[in-house]
Structure 1
């Protein structure tokens, strides 16, 4: 790890129990990141924290360690469970938090329930009815089980809201408030909130449902931008696939993610990459949960080294050693750019973020540069970067997805590029 992304503060110098420190040492965590350094001394003493930090900066460990220590400190003889609840906006993030929790609590006597929609309904219901200490999950299914009387919120001692800005984006705030209002008062529990931005909405939520939280902001330049080499190319639409294939051949990345804006674009790109010899996994919003987990496991365990993803995968995925992120389509939301490139250069490593400023999404670049506060260097597209002999895929997308010619609305007769003719634009998919 690069020391520029760690502080001099060691976990062993904080008010953490020996059993927690032992788990951290086993996991290779010795020094704190900036968000851990500023948050943990407060939260370990029972002070509420609302923290702003980008993904990949160690915020998951920040709230898990504070939660574990708070529960350990409770020496009352009549402990009733569950005692802590950790809310996440997406199932992928909930799954990753659960995985990190198991890693860091291996020497603790804590039981977890992982709760999210899409699969394993009865299995999760049975689990939450057992004597679990900590619930980790997404709001919708947690509320479903709560209304069935599967568990009580009367004894919650720690509440965590992760990626609160995303909770607003996905329309979960009413669900969050439903749960918070059924817990003990804010002054009777430890409350932790983390968000990429402490916007007005997020801080309003914090002050409404937390006990005088300390606001902690970790600026972007402290945590990610210096570790990620950002660059961009301006291809014509018909150059995008040859350029991506040429860059993959040039860089030979061990593990990379290619982000696109629509499911249609993802499927087309997947066809081309497979036809040209790449083993790929495609992650989009309508992939069933069981298959999503298989795809992510294949990617994490190097059975597949190229993941094609829509923004459903832009947050909450802690996958080590992603060396390159390609924005095949520029995101239309500036914050999604930061979350996408945050898939690389995690926990002090370095990484490459390469963006295509194409005809369709070029308008996003000025807003992205304003948001990150810097210009992204533009690179020249040289002939050697364009793959000359691109193999066209034999498989085509199902014809029924294309509107019949007789029903298509009339359009102006303007010259169009080959890419737009063969791959009609589709609506961006829902992040859910």
Structure 2
């Protein structure tokens, strides 16, 4: 695997124009509709090699245009190479795997935008919603199939589609695939496809760890390694700050920060679902429209929350780390780490929700008694000390309204006729 490393210029975009890459005219018209004329650094480094037919293992920090890079390479192949004469036109020719439902949906929407003038057929498959409609969409005939491993394997075992005609494979957020335990599923699907030498293979990831590179060597054809190395681990357009605060003052401080910042879109990251629900109640009691996005929220509600947040109808999204990676949400002004993450990489992914596509943004971390021990590892990882926000402690809302306690959930094991659930005696 040969390697190319580049450090992007302070300008978000490179000097390379999409019009100079030899892309299909319908792709250029799609890019023009979206207002894109110049490549980002990862696109400028990856696309020339992909368009020459080389496999790619790409690394770039979040929000740098990785998705458009592999989508343009994939769509270009589909447009420039006709189907085989014995092809019935129903089976997918390109296959994109993503670790989460939200990321799969985002890739699908980006693909629709880029391919709007191409006539290519595509669909997205993920768990939690639309089982019959997703299957029907596949069986109607598609060129590009996007989805998460579990649902795609389900349909495959039902013979809803075949993998024998796959010409392009994309693995997005490969490191996250390992974290979520999907590698056995991915290898199962890859074994059903033509061998690596008979297809194009694009692997993109925030980190190219040893296990990710091992996957690349195993299932790709001498891939070209593309690593976009920023001057700093974190985006240079994110204004980072922290405030040391006691646990019982965190919610009043959060309310004060949101009042002072006047951000149109704010994301508040919490480490646990239970605390996220407490924060949601606290913000709502103090006049903020806020809702929780976590792993066990139903798929339909998750998509509605994301759409409302993107549209500006929901100004504050309280999220666990399910929302920290892979989501492209334009216009996030403010990220607040209500809890410092335990993994330093999660800090980078969280604050990467703002300052995307060349914009600027603010990231404020609340360093409380419970999670402050994560701070040294985070600062070592990002290569800098996070500055204290001047006057930050003074932002604590003196008129904070304490919300009513949430109703206690119980298992329904009350004694018959008692009229109330059994409680455990304090010891």
Shared fold per TM-score greater than 0.5 = yes
- 2-side partners of 1:40 and 1:220: how far apart? 19
Q: After superposition, what is the alpha-carbon deviation per residue over 1:372-406, rounded to whole angstroms, capped at 9, x for unaligned?
A: 122111235556311001111135242538x9873
Q: Which residue of 2 aligns with 1:424?
A: none
Stretches (4+) displaced over 6 A: none
Alignment of 1:161-180 (within 5 A): 161-180=171-190
Runs of at least 5 residues in structure 2 that lack an aligned partner in the other structure: 1-8, 412-420
- 2-side partners of 1:382 and 1:20: how far apart? 48
Secondary structure of 1:325's aligned partner: strand
The yes-or-no answer on 1:278 pairing with 2:288 is yes
Cα distance, 1:222 vs. partner?
A: 6.7
Contact 2:233 2:383 in 1 (8 A): no
Alignment of 1:328-367 (within 5 A): 328-367=338-377
The yes-or-no answer on 1:21 pairing with 2:35 is no
Q: Which residue of 2 aligns with 1:148?
A: 158
Cα distance, 1:85 vs. partner?
A: 0.3
Q: Which residue of 1 aligns with 2:320?
A: 310
Secondary structure of 1:51's aligned partner: strand
Contact 2:241 2:389 in 1 (8 A): yes
Q: 1:57 aligns with which of 55, 64, 71?
A: 64
The yes-or-no answer on 1:245 pairing with 2:255 is yes
Q: After superposition, what is the alpha-carbon deviation per residue over 1:117-142, rounded to whole angstroms, capped at 9, x for unaligned?
A: 11111111111112100000000110
- 2-side partners of 1:374 and 1:271: how far apart? 34
Query: TM-score under structure 2 normalisation?
Result: 0.92
Secondary structure of 1:193's aligned partner: strand
Residues 125 and 272 of structure 1: CA distance in aligned 2, closer, same or farther (over 3 Å): same
Q: 1:112 aligns with which of 115, 122, 138?
A: 122
Number of residue equivalences: 407
- 2-side partners of 1:240 and 1:111: how far apart? 49
The yes-or-no answer on 1:69 pairing with 2:76 is yes
Q: Which residue of 1 aligns with 2:273?
A: 263
Contact 1:113 1:136 in 2 (8 A): yes
Contact 2:24 2:80 in 1 (8 A): no
Alignment of 1:37-56 (within 5 A): 37-56=44-63
- 1-side partners of 2:28 and 2:143: how far apart? 20
- 2-side partners of 1:53 and 1:274: how far apart? 37
Residues 129 and 223 of structure 1: CA distance in aligned 2, closer, same or farther (over 3 Å): farther
The yes-or-no answer on 1:8 pairing with 2:15 is yes
Cα distance, 1:3 vs. partner?
A: 6.5
RMSD between superposed Cα atoms in Å = 1.7
Query: TM-score under structure 1 normalisation?
Result: 0.91
Runs of at least 5 residues in structure 1 that lack an aligned partner in the other structure: 411-432
- 2-side partners of 1:323 and 1:100: how far apart? 22
Secondary structure of 1:5's aligned partner: coil
The yes-or-no answer on 1:33 pairing with 2:40 is yes
Secondary structure of 1:257's aligned partner: strand
Residues 383 and 371 of structure 1: CA distance in aligned 2, closer, same or farther (over 3 Å): closer
Q: 2:131 aligns with which of 111, 121, 132?
A: 121
Residues 26 and 393 of structure 1: CA distance in aligned 2, closer, same or farther (over 3 Å): same
The yes-or-no answer on 1:158 pairing with 2:165 is no
Contact 2:238 2:363 in 1 (8 A): yes
- 2-side partners of 1:76 and 1:172: how far apart? 30
Q: 2:424 aligns with which of 402, 406, 409?
A: 406
Q: Name whichever of 213-222 and 272-281 sits farther off.
A: 213-222
Secondary structure of 1:393's aligned partner: coil
Secondary structure of 1:110's aligned partner: coil
Contact 1:3 1:348 in 2 (8 A): no
Q: After superposition, what is the alpha-carbon deviation per residue over 1:225-284, rounded to whole angstroms, capped at 9, x for unaligned?
A: 211111111101011111111111111111110000011111100001000000112101
